[in-house]
Chain A
Amino acid sequence: QSPMTVLCSIDWFMVTVHPFMLNNDVCVHFHELHLGLGCPPNHVQPHAYQFTYRVTECGIRAKAVSQDMVIYSTEIHYSSKGTPSKFVIPVSCAAPQKSPWLTKPCSMRVASKSRATAQKDEKCYEVFSLSQSSQRPNCDCPPCVFSEEEHTQVPCHQAGAQEAQPLQPSHFLDISEDWSLHTDDMIGSM
């Protein structure tokens, strides 16, 4: 499962993130995330937080790049409750203007390659993805987010939690260091 996927159509913008979207040590709680102008995740599952909004909501920006294509863009804002960490993650997605269907998720690639993906592969509409993990096994989330009935109440352990926490084997790459590089890259390409 990828840390982040972005789908869109001419009506909908849909971002799904994984609680370990940043790296495998940071369990992101859904309260710490919003999309665009303050839109919270509207579908929360233990292993995924989904933001599904109309493209006209949340301050999502639309830009027609051709007769057939619109690019929607906005940001995912992460603001850690327990640490001063904050990230702003640009997300964007291109949709064909004539189709009512959501774009299909692309096979995931490293973010720095996703520009090339977006420009060269006409069939693949996802412009931005964070993910390196398509070839990696699914994440089994630790109990902090995973107790089925209570996952909304149980506090999520914060970055750098010092207590012994059943952390995942490191099958998620640490990508946070490269953030600014990738994000600038993406903004530059828009």
Chain B
Amino acid sequence: CNDMTPEQMATNVNCSSPERHTRSYDYMEGGDIRVRRLFCRTQWYLRIDKRGKVKGTQEMKNNYNIMEIRTVAVGIVAIKGVESEFYLAMNKEGKLYAKKECNEDCNFKELILENHYNTYASAKWTHNGGEMFVALNQKGIPVRGKKTKKEQKTAHFLPMAIT
């Protein structure tokens, strides 16, 4: 079907590039965009609601937990709520929030761990030299980046394809 060429992949690398295919949940389209639910190892889905509040939800069939993960550079992604059209962002203090216009706060380093879970660390901010991760605690509330570590379950996510 879709043999993706480097040229196709080179498109859409900028997070301000025009949106396309945001509602077609077909990851093969649009080059370097994946549409996923980010399921935290604490059993919560990352959700950005219509007012831009970032929180976990345990309801799987919820459009506010569908994220568009766009590669902006090798290893760096921007994560946008498809329904809310807010980008996930982390400020200097490590607080998760959401933004309509993406800037460097919206860039996250995506890594896969040996346990096959993924982590998302702010590409812009660190705390005392340590990375600050997107994390949802046992109650589904975002953990402040300063308190997160790569080893913690709260920072482990599985990007689930939309079926």
The chain A residues found within 8 Å of chain B, CB to CB, are 9-12, 14, 37, 39, 52-54, 56-57, 59, 61-64, 70, 97-102
Contacts and interface: CB of A to CB of B under 8 A. Distances in A.
Interface string B21-59: 000000110011010100100000000000000000000
B158 interface: yes
A94 to B, nearest CB: 14
Contacts of A11: 34, 112, 118, 159
Given A56-B31, A97-B161, A100-B159, A62 B3 contact: yes
Contacts of B137: none
Contacts of B9: 56-57, 59
A179 B36 CA distance: 39
Contacts of B31: 56
Interface in B61-88: 71, 74-75
10 contacts: A54-B75, A56-B34, A56-B71, A62-B28, A70-B28, A98-B161, A99-B161, A100-B36, A100-B39, A101-B116
A61 B3 CA distance: 6
B1 A56 contact: no
A53 B75 CA distance: 8
Nearest to A12: B112
A39 B6 CA distance: 13
A63 B1 contact: yes
Nearest to B112: A12
Interface in B1-27: 1-6, 9, 27
A70 B5 CA distance: 16
A63 B159 contact: no
A59 B3 contact: no
A99 B36 CA distance: 11
> 5 shortest A-B CB distances, which residue pairs?
A56-B32, A100-B158, A64-B1, A59-B6, A102-B116
Contacts of B27: 10
A167 B93 CA distance: 53
Interface in B105-163: 110, 112, 116, 118, 158-161, 163
A54 B71 contact: yes
Contacts of A52: 112
Nearest to A54: B71
Nearest to A70: B28
Nearest to B3: A61
Contacts of B116: 9, 101-102
B71 A62 contact: no
A57 B71 contact: yes
Contact of A61 (B4, B32, B34, B74): B4
Nearest to B39: A100
A61 to B, nearest CB: 5
Contacts of A98: 161, 163
Contacts of A100: 36, 39, 158-161
A121 B36 CA distance: 28
Given A10-B27, A62-B28, 19 more contacts: A9-B116, A11-B159, A12-B112, A39-B74, A52-B112, A53-B74, A54-B71, A56-B31, A56-B34, A56-B71, A57-B9, A63-B1, A70-B28, A99-B161, A100-B158, A100-B159, A100-B161, A101-B116, A101-B158
